[in-house]
A and B are shown apart, each in its own frame.
Chain A
Amino acid sequence: METAAPSLLELQRALRASLVVHDDSGISAHVVDAGMSPAERLDVYRNTFASVLTTALRLSYPAAHRLVGAEFFEGAARIFIEAHPPKSACLDDYGEKFAEFLSDFEPAASLAYLPEVARLEWAVNRALHASDVEPLDPRRLAALAEAERARVGFVPHPSVSLLRVDHPADLIWRAALEEDDDALSAIDPGAGPAWLLVQRLATGVEVRRMGESAWRITAALFAGRPLAAALDEAPDTEASALLADHLAAGRFIDFSLNETSA
């Protein structure tokens, strides 16, 4: 039977369906089958699609990979890839929704900390590849009048992020990366929440724990809330030490002045 030639757009959408959801119905009839079936030929591309993206996920989520093992990780990755094929040709951007996927992934339900470790790994991945931006020069802040300074709303550095986790995901993450099974088995997954700050430094990405109140103030500052209002919740000495630390560590790149200081 003669099949009408598809337009390029139709053909490309059909090949997409073949690779992503393994539906060859729109493409098989258009593939030359000399010596090899269309399905065998399409398998070559399907294999590359799946293996390239699985590798990309493994590189972004090395601790999760270590925690569940290669076979489980690859199985989960295949299901994730089918549901969330990449939108960007830059694979450093791929896998943002993997933590969310794992939290709904029934076979991983017994590892309650796994999605949080994955969430931390995504923050680390973002920190690794964030744009290089000069930090805010603290002298710009010093040059403001006091009333203006109260209205300052900061812009955080793109490599910096904050996470609150219910489990000690940072300890689990570190032990998994160091392949330290003794440290891993010594961690109590129920050891309560942690407040984390992730940042790229010249030496690599740092994940540090913060106190809850310092973390909350920092979250308000990163959200651009007026400086006076954000610092209001802490004693003066703690607030000014925290602000000095953020400025010295280059965690802001800019600021604007809010309408009010409240």
Chain B
Amino acid sequence: MIPPTLPKRSGRNPIPAQAGVGLRFRHHQEVLEARPAAAWFEVHTENYMGGGGAPAALEAIRRDYPISLHGTGLSLGSAEGLDPAHLARVRELVERTEPGLVSEHLSFSVAGGNYLADLLPLPMTEEALEIVCRNVAQVQDHLKHRILVENPSTYLQFRHSTIPEWEFLARVTRHAGCGILCDVNNIYVSASNHGWRASTYLAALPPEAVGEIHLAGHSLRQLDDARTLRIDDHGSRVAPEVWALYAEALALFGPVPTLIEWDTNVPPMMVLLEEAAHAAALIDEAESGNGRALAA
């Protein structure tokens, strides 16, 4: 059998359709010494720019594990365009790391030349759609790498939005030729905050475009008058409702590389691996479910 020819920089270590773990600094040493049984790791792009200890650790870790680069600073939704200096630094890291996947967010984080340190919501308008598509195309051209675009958690909506977020994301995928990073926790959080139906969101995404799934914990903020707001703080185990929604996603999309994210009060690696094992069991179920469907 002749192996298919991979395009340049498609990733020396492709990300398998298994459960991986978000790698944070506190676990570098343990990963280098103990080689925990994680299927793959994802790191935050902006934490590995420049030189010194962190990039050196990543260089060693990537020899043994497939790596995915997940960015928070490109600001795909910026009307003022992308920061060429930041894009160049991302490219340098992509060339150095040869990641299996590269992803960013459906949001903006740069305005007036300032980095606003958060994934800020976009108005869901035709104008914003055009700008996101233009920026995504520029990123993919520059990196020579297809990217996945992730749905964010949001806490506000704009009055002049005309397109549901799920439709907006599907159209970005179609027009810009990128993939989707489906963050199931974010869908749950945003749906709960805005009164959307999470199942409607999942069903609107083109399954063939979904290249990765994110899972994380969120918290419930109690406002006065018994109102609540769900906050995507990546500081706890995945909620039972989100596991249920994840099973729904797998039924729609089939087995997809799935990541456990944890950024606030990062727990021991063992806890992350337990969460990943839970995801792996659901991926196995989805696979055998598909197998049965094919056999039938």
Q: Are B118 and A32 closer than 8 Å at their CB atoms?
A: no
Q: Are B159 and A31 closer than 8 Å at their CB atoms?
A: yes
B73-109: which residues lie under 8 A (CB-CB) from chain A? 73-75, 77-80, 83, 85-86, 89, 108-109
A6 to B131, CA, bound (A): 15
Chain A residue nearest to B156 in the complex (CB):
A41
Does A85 sit at the interface, judged by CB under 8 A? Answer: yes
Q: Are A44 and B75 closer than 8 Å at their CB atoms?
A: no
Does B117 sit at the interface, judged by CB under 8 A? Answer: yes
Known: A32-B159, A132-B51. A90 touches B118 (CB 8 A): no
Does B112 sit at the interface, judged by CB under 8 A? Answer: yes
Q: Are A52 and B118 closer than 8 Å at their CB atoms?
A: yes
Known: A16-B111, A30-B159, A90-B73. A130 touches B51 (CB 8 A): yes
Q: Are B114 and A12 closer than 8 Å at their CB atoms?
A: no
For residue A2, give the distance in angstroms from its CB to the closest CB of chain B: 10
Residue in B51, B72, B110, B112 whose beta carbon sits within 8 Å of that of A131 in the complex: B51
Beyond A12-B79, A89-B46, 4 extra complex contacts between A and B, CB < 8 Å: A5-B159, A31-B158, A90-B50, A92-B50
A92 to B77, CA, bound (A): 23
Chain B residue nearest to A132 in the complex (CB):
B51
Does B191 sit at the interface, judged by CB under 8 A? Answer: no
Q: Are B111 and A15 closer than 8 Å at their CB atoms?
A: yes
Known: A8-B123, A40-B223. A87 touches B115 (CB 8 A): yes
A residues apposed to B, CB below 8 Å: 3, 5-9, 11-13, 15-16, 19-20, 29-32, 34-36, 38, 40-42, 44-45, 48-49, 52-53, 56, 85-92, 128-133, 158-159, 200
A38 to B227, CA, bound (A): 15
Known: A31-B159, A130-B52. A86 touches B114 (CB 8 A): yes
Query: B46 — which chain A residues lie within 8 A by C-beta?
Result: 89-91
For residue A30, give the distance in angstroms from its CB to the closest CB of chain B: 5
Query: A92 — which chain B residues lie within 8 A by C-beta?
Result: 47, 49-50
Known: A12-B78, A13-B111, A32-B158. A90 touches B49 (CB 8 A): yes
Q: Are B125 and A8 closer than 8 Å at their CB atoms?
A: yes
Query: B283 — which chain A residues lie within 8 A by C-beta?
Result: none
Band of interface residues on B: 35 or more
Chain B residue nearest to A16 in the complex (CB):
B111
A90 to B80, CA, bound (A): 18
Does B268 sit at the interface, judged by CB under 8 A? Answer: no
Known: A11-B158, A16-B112, A30-B160. A129 touches B86 (CB 8 A): no
A87 to B109, CA, bound (A): 11
Q: Are B223 and A36 closer than 8 Å at their CB atoms?
A: yes
A200 to B53, CA, bound (A): 10
Does B231 sit at the interface, judged by CB under 8 A? Answer: yes
Q: What 4 pairs between A and B have smallest CB-CB spacing?
A: A89-B73, A132-B51, A5-B160, A41-B156
A15 to B188, CA, bound (A): 25
A128 to B89, CA, bound (A): 17
For residue A152, give the distance in angstroms from its CB to the closest CB of chain B: 25
A130 to B54, CA, bound (A): 11
For residue B208, give the distance in angstroms from its CB to the closest CB of chain A: 29
Query: B73 — which chain A residues lie within 8 A by C-beta?
Result: 89-90
Most chain B C-beta atoms within 10 Å of own C-beta, residue among A9, A41, A88, A130: A88
Question: Could you jot down 5 A-B contacts, CB within 8 Å?
Answer: A8-B127, A31-B158, A87-B113, A89-B86, A130-B50
For residue B7, give the distance in angstroms from its CB to the closest CB of chain A: 27
For residue B136, give the distance in angstroms from its CB to the closest CB of chain A: 15
Residue in B72, B75, B128, B227 whose beta carbon sits within 8 Å of that of A35 in the complex: B227
Q: Are A13 and B112 closer than 8 Å at their CB atoms?
A: yes
A15 to B80, CA, bound (A): 14
Does B216 sit at the interface, judged by CB under 8 A? Answer: no
Q: Are A128 and B231 closer than 8 Å at their CB atoms?
A: no
Does B116 sit at the interface, judged by CB under 8 A? Answer: yes
Q: Are B114 and A8 closer than 8 Å at their CB atoms?
A: no
Chain A residue nearest to B75 in the complex (CB):
A89
Residue in B50, B125, B157, B231 whose beta carbon sits within 8 Å of that of A44 in the complex: B231
Residue in B110, B127, B128, B131 whose beta carbon sits within 8 Å of that of A89 in the complex: B110
Q: Are B117 and A32 closer than 8 Å at their CB atoms?
A: no
Chain A residue nearest to B127 in the complex (CB):
A8
